[in-house]
Amino acid sequence: MPAPRVACLGEALIVLVAGRPGPLEESADFERSIGGAELNTAIGLVAAGIPSALLTAVGDDGFGRHLVARASQLGVDTSAVRVDPARATGMYVKERGGGTGAATDLPLGASRMHYYRAGSAASALGPEYLDEASVRAILDGVQAVHVTGITPALSPTTLELTRALRSAAPRALLAFDANWRPALWRGREREGADVLRELAAGSDLVLLGEEEARIIVGSDDPDAVRRALPAPRRLVLKHDGGAVTAFDGPVSRRLRPDAVTITEAIGAGDAFAAGYLAAILDDGDLDAALAGGHRLAERVLRSTHDHAAHDPAGAVIP
């Protein structure tokens, strides 16, 4: 496996996808998969030709072993994944809307995630993880580190872990995807907004959606967002409907991609981050980065999977 060019730090999860659309209580069968924003991005980066590593922790259980084995099969470097003997691997169940009109059903094509991650192995990670030999070996060699706003929400120790990334990999580009998760900040929304703004302001590349921008900086106007976050060289604001406004220093672009038939939207933002970052690392300009992001995102939008991947033979996995 080639040396990783990007390290993606965050909780990787087992995903159980309801076998058929409709109310969750009527789903008897589930398809097992893997997910989590940072893992999805790592898989997408590999699909885009950028070797990547996953920094996380899993439980010493069957789910954790499957997650590591599957991520490795998809080309992600898992050499620094910590195995926690006392805590479980995080998991979420994906409910798929059937549009039946039943009180507990979702609209057709909609999805809802039910998280089972409290007290998980990854939530116990702290800054000391960055000093482990296997982690240092990766961080000392990568061009970029990718993290999201999910990780600092998991626990006080993962917040400190996220804050420590800049000093742990000072030569690497620090990419931050806001990924606001209301359930993780419930009852402490103001704290969450302040934390994410702090982390965004200290990053080199920032991605956020309109709703996230309103929460974090109080506006979804592109110029206002740029004024609120002047330090990151690269800033991407994702608009509803798929359009984006992107800044690279003083240069800006607004792009509206062609319409796509959406099977499911979960994971599309992670794929966009992967395609955008891959182009940046391969010295692409702003237009190439936006095109790369949209290309990977479209693959995820057309599937029920959370990530854009290739199998070991190089064939696209839908």
**DSSP code at position 310:** E
Question: pLDDT tens, 83-110?
Answer: 999 999 999 999 999 999 999 999 998 8
Output the pLDDT for position 314: 40
Domains and CATH numbers, the chain: 6-317 (3.40.1190.20)
Output the pLDDT for position 264: 45
C-alpha triplet 224, 171, 294: angle, nearest 5°: 50
> Are 207 and 178 in contact, with CB atoms under 8 Å apart?
yes
Distance (Å) of CA 292 to CA 279, 281, 314: 6, 12, 18
Active site residue 270: yes
Output the pLDDT for position 301: 45
User: Which candidate, 126, 133, 99, places its Cα nearest to that of 23?
Assistant: 99
Phi and psi of 147, rounded to 5°?
-145, 160
First to last CA, the chain: 23
What is the C-alpha to C-alpha distance for residues 227 and 4, in angstroms, rounded to an integer?
34
The residue ranges of the chain whose pLDDT is under 70 are 257-267, 297-318
What is the C-alpha to C-alpha distance for residues 175 and 50, in angstroms, rounded to an integer?
15
> Are 276 and 297 in contact, with CB atoms under 8 Å apart?
no
Phi and psi of 30, rounded to 5°?
-135, 140
Predicted TM-score of the model (pTM): 0.89
Question: pLDDT tens, 224-264?
Answer: 999 999 999 999 999 887 788 999 999 888 877 654 444 44
Phi and psi of 184, rounded to 5°?
-80, -20
What is the C-alpha to C-alpha distance for residues 34 and 307, in angstroms, rounded to an integer?
9
Q: Active site residue: 258, 270, 287, 311, which one?
A: 270
Output the pLDDT for position 253: 87
